[in-house]
Amino acid sequence: MRSEVLLAILLMAVGASARGAEAWPQFRGPTGQGEAQEERLPLEWSESEGIKWKAPLPGRGWSSPVVANGRIWLTTAVEQAQDEAKRAELLKSYEKLPVNEQFLRFDSISLRVIEVDFESGKILREINLFERESPPPIHGLNTYASPTPVLDTETGRLFCHFGTFGTCCIDTHTGEIVWKRQLELDHVVGPGSSPALYKNLLIIPNDGIDRQYIAALDVATGKTVWEQSRPPIRENNTDHHKAFATPLVIEVDGRPQAVIPGAQWFVAYDPLSGDELWRIDHGSGFSNIARPVFDGQLLFLNTGLGKAQLWAVLPDGAGDVTETHVAWRETRQVPAMSSPALSNGRLYMVSDGGVASCLDSETGKTLWRERMPGKYSASPLTGGGRVYFWSHEGRTNVVADSNKFELLSQNDVDGMLMASPAAIDGDLLLRTDTSLYRVTGR
């Protein structure tokens, strides 16, 4: 019952929602929560089977593909360095360096959007959006094209966001750039937050070390409609002020809320005015990446780096509701990177180090917990009675959507999997560091 309420709420509240299973218009799909609407999804595949096509991609990016009307759109960053051999070696070995040296530096970047034909995998257009000479360095785990674009399926407008490096609107029919904006801030490690579309507004978190605020842009012009500063942060270390979360727009008691986690605070805003509705002090967490999920009753949010925790929150309060609206907390094996997923009263998550958990979403009780090989950043996907977990190493672990752990298959592709995949027309779109795959079960 709660899953039916959830779907109805989100299809009404999120402006980018798809009409059926023919579109995947934003990060984590039609509801923004990693739910595939199809009854059947692929179960087994490899480089030699179950792949309808594999398309090499230019540049690097961890943004997810968005899809509508038979077209796939992805953002990418084409990086230029004086010494390409050294750059390639650094990409492979940055984790072996001290933490303060795990940064990539480039002479220039070209930030682009790519249009791919869903049926054939052919690249139809590659549109250059922004150029930047001597860009600030980014962390080796990140890219300059990590935020996922948002597709308005009604107007055919695509909104591409690259953090401080630029935001723009594209007419997907003509390829024309309608408007451009730059919301400047210091990410330190590169951009990460994806925007959310609500009615005529593009809602963008801007949580840097220098400034922390939310901006809402008019989708027609790119002009700022409202801007709201984040609550004060008590931590003196400004590196602990940044965050990279993506808003989730929900409706509670007939009123829309844009829920946006940040350093120290979970905050809900009125998406039309920017007025703060409620806030919860979650402690000293920062660099929040996970997008919240909502089951129609409880909202589930991750605290980010530090000691990652998952909090179940009642979203019907006003003001500071830290002491009154927290239903339960989970402190064990909580991811700092990937978002959780909901299905049939169960909440699924996988820690960065590869421990998957299934919790009862109402009580927080652990139903099962199992280790999976590899590291994890991409967010899990649910659909067709299954849960899909994607590892850095290119492996997809498929488990049963059940109170008991059952591993159904393990599927490997070449390359690194950090972008959260899309589910469309019964198939999966997997983006690795080099290629885009259409995985089919038919």
Per DSSP bridges, beta strands 319-320 and 276-281 are: parallel
Contact of 439 with 51, CB cutoff 8 Å:
yes
Of 79, 128, 137, nearest to 108 (Cα)? Answer: 79
DSSP conformation class of 107: S
Give the whole-angstrom CA distance, residue 328 versus residue 261. Answer: 17
Give the whole-angstrom CA distance, residue 31 versus residue 190. Answer: 26
Contact of 429 with 437, CB cutoff 8 Å:
yes
Give the whole-angstrom CA distance, residue 268 versus residue 273. Answer: 12
Q: How many CB atoms lie within 10 A of CB 189?
A: 20
Identify each DSSP E strand in 253-392 by its residue range: 255-261, 265-269, 276-281, 293-294, 299-302, 310-313, 319-320, 326-330, 341-343, 346-350, 355-360, 366-371, 381-383, 386-390
pLDDT tens digits, the chain, 442 residues: what are they?
444 444 444 444 443 333 334 899 999 999 999 999 888 999 999 999 999 999 999 999 999 999 999 999 999 999 998 677 766 766 666 667 676 667 888 999 999 999 999 999 999 999 999 999 999 999 988 999 999 999 999 999 999 999 999 999 999 999 999 999 999 999 999 999 999 999 999 999 999 999 999 999 999 999 999 999 999 999 999 999 999 999 999 999 999 999 999 999 999 999 999 999 999 999 999 999 999 999 999 999 999 999 999 999 999 999 999 999 999 999 999 999 999 999 999 999 999 999 999 999 999 999 999 999 999 999 999 999 999 999 999 999 999 999 999 999 999 999 999 999 999 999 999 999 999 999 997 6
Give the whole-angstrom CA distance, residue 261 versus residue 254. Answer: 22
Of 124, 210, 100, nearest to 163 (Cα)? Answer: 210
What CA–CA distances, in Å, run from 313 to 2, 302, 333, 357, 364?
A: 16, 11, 19, 19, 11
Q: What's the pLDDT score for residue 111?
A: 98
Please give the residue range of the domain that contains residue 48.
2-439
**How buried is residue 88: exposed, middle or buried, by Cβ count under 10 Å (0-12/13-18/19+)?**
exposed
At 178, the amino acid letter reads V
Q: How many domains does the chain have?
A: 1
Q: What's the pLDDT score for residue 67?
A: 98
What is the CATH number for 187?
A: 2.130.10.10
